């Protein structure tokens, strides 16, 4: 099943949000980010259900005044069943959640929705299409993390090896025979926007060249969507293809986490080849070293001969 695209809004909130919290990035540069078109995020208290912030700018500004200095993104699989303290709120099964860090505590921000007291059917009520909002309205609820979860969250903050991630994704996904059934375009622009328009604003702050993240987010999303489309058209996938699709979702989800928390290091290492001038210089150095060694040996030999002559003739 393809990942819900809400991860794009989460990624922007974490990466641009951290630039605001740490480096005073002005909201004027990203408050109108293209990825938030047709998506409005509100922020509420899971305990009281009070509305805390009606927009992410208010949310981030208040977090900063409260002493929060960092945001991070994590897979929702870390959250165990039964951690929701409010039965009136249904936590939605989105792939990721955000954590806000302060010296005193770690607070998770999880997508969820209020349960209507008078609606008891198992399936969600479908509002008539003509009455639906044009923008997607979602709510994030705060939840203070207990110590065991804090330890697991901290593991995601360990710096990854991006070269290994690059090689692993190529080997496990894009070098597999299943990929030949799909058309995966290469990223031709300097960054990935998360939209169909390459002129839109980058999903990641552009001050950092995170080419590994940009390229694989772009390619994995294409592959994920094409497999999902193929599944809907044929109504089924082979067992091998289902396993491959699940693997893509799992690795895609992990890449999003690594990108959100460590995108600044997601650069390929440039390996420079040996210069022929370096080789010549080495040859010259070796020649000079050999010549110098021979001169020293000759000097020692002459000194010994002269010493012997002096001793023999009594000079």
pLDDT of residue 313: 44
pLDDT for the residue numbered 80 = 77
pLDDT of residue 13: 99
Per-residue pLDDT of the chain (315 residues), as tens digits, is 689 999 999 999 999 999 999 988 999 999 999 999 999 999 999 999 999 999 999 999 999 999 999 999 999 999 876 578 899 999 999 999 999 999 999 999 999 999 999 998 988 899 999 999 889 999 999 999 999 899 999 999 999 999 999 999 999 999 999 898 899 999 999 899 999 999 999 999 999 989 999 999 999 999 999 999 888 887 777 889 999 999 999 999 999 999 999 999 999 876 655 655 655 555 455 555 555 556 656 666 666 655 654 454 444
Place of tokens 């109504």: 235
- According to the model, what pLDDT value does residue 285 have? 52
Residue ranges in the chain assigned as alpha helix (H): 6-23, 56-65, 147-155, 162-169, 211-234, 239-262, 276-313
Tokens representing 65 are: 């005044």
Distances (CA, A) of 164 to 35, 160, 161, 171, 239: 29, 8, 5, 10, 28
Q: Give the gyration radius of the chain's Cα atoms.
A: 30
259: closest CA among 12, 58, 78? 12
The pLDDT of residue 308 is 53
Q: What distances in angstroms separate CA 122 from CA 88, 129, 255, one per listed residue?
A: 15, 20, 34
**What per-residue confidence (pLDDT) applies to 277?**
60
Question: 264-274 burial, b for 16+ CB within 10 Å, e for fewer?
Answer: eebeeeeeeee
């Amino acid at each position: 099943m393809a990942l819900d695209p809400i991860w794009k809004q989460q990624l922007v909130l974490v990466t641009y949000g951290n630039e605001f919290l740490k480096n005073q990035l002005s909201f004027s540069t990203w408050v109108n980010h293209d990825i938030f078109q047709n998506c409005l995020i509100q922020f509420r208290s899971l305990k009281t259900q009070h509305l805390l912030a009606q927009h992410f700018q208010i949310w981030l500004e208040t977090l900063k005044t409260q002493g929060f200095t960092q945001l991070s993104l994590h897979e929702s699989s870390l959250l165990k069943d039964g951690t929701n303290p409010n039965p009136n709120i249904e936590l939605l099964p989105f792939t990721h959640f955000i954590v806000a860090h302060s010296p005193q505590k770690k607070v998770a921000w999880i997508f969820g929705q209020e349960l209507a007291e008078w609606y008891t059917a198992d399936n969600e009520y479908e509002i008539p299409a003509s009455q639906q909002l044009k923008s997607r309205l979602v709510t994030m609820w705060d939840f203070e993390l207990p110590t065991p979860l804090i330890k697991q969250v901290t593991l995601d903050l360990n710096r990854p090896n991006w070269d290994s991630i690059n090689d692993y994704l190529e080997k496990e996904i894009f070098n597999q025979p299943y990929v030949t059934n799909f058309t995966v375009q290469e990223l031709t622009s300097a960054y990935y926007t998360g939209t169909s328009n390459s002129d839109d604003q980058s999903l990641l702050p552009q001050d950092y060249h995170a080419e590994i993240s940009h390229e694989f987010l772009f390619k994995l999303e294409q592959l994920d969507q094409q497999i999902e489309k193929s599944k809907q058209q044929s109504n089924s996938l082979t067992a091998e293809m289902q396993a491959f699709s699940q693997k893509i979702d799992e690795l895609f989800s992990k890449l999003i986490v690594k990108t959100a928390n460590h995108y600044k290091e997601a650069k390929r290492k440039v390996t420079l080849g040996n210069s022929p001038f370096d080789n010549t210089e080495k040859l010259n150095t070796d020649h000079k070293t050999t010549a110098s060694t021979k001169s020293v040996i000759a000097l020692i030999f002459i000194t010994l001969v002269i010493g012997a002559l002096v001793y023999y003739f009594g000079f």
